[in-house]
Amino acid sequence: MHAPRTLSLVMTVVLSMAYLYLGTRPQNPEPFRHVSDKLLHAGAYGVLAATAADAAAVMGLALAPAIGWGYAVGHGVLLELVQLHTPPRTAEGGDVLADAAGAALGAAALAVWRQRR
Domain boundary assignment for the chain: 7-116
Q: 108: part of which helix (H) or strand (E)?
A: helix 93-116
User: What pLDDT is stored for residue 2 in this prediction?
Assistant: 56
pLDDT score of 59: 93
**29, containing H or E segment:** none
Inform me whether the pLDDT recorded for 1 exceeds 70: no
Contacts of 62 (CB under 8 A, 6+ apart): none
Confidence bin at 5 (pLDDT 50/70/90):
confident
Residues 39 and 102 sit within 8 Å (Cβ to Cβ): no
Share of the chain above pLDDT 90, in %: 86
73-104 pLDDT, tens digit each: 999 999 999 999 999 999 999 999 999 999 99
From residue 58, how far is each of 34, 50, 62, 105, 111 by CA, in Å? 37, 12, 10, 19, 12
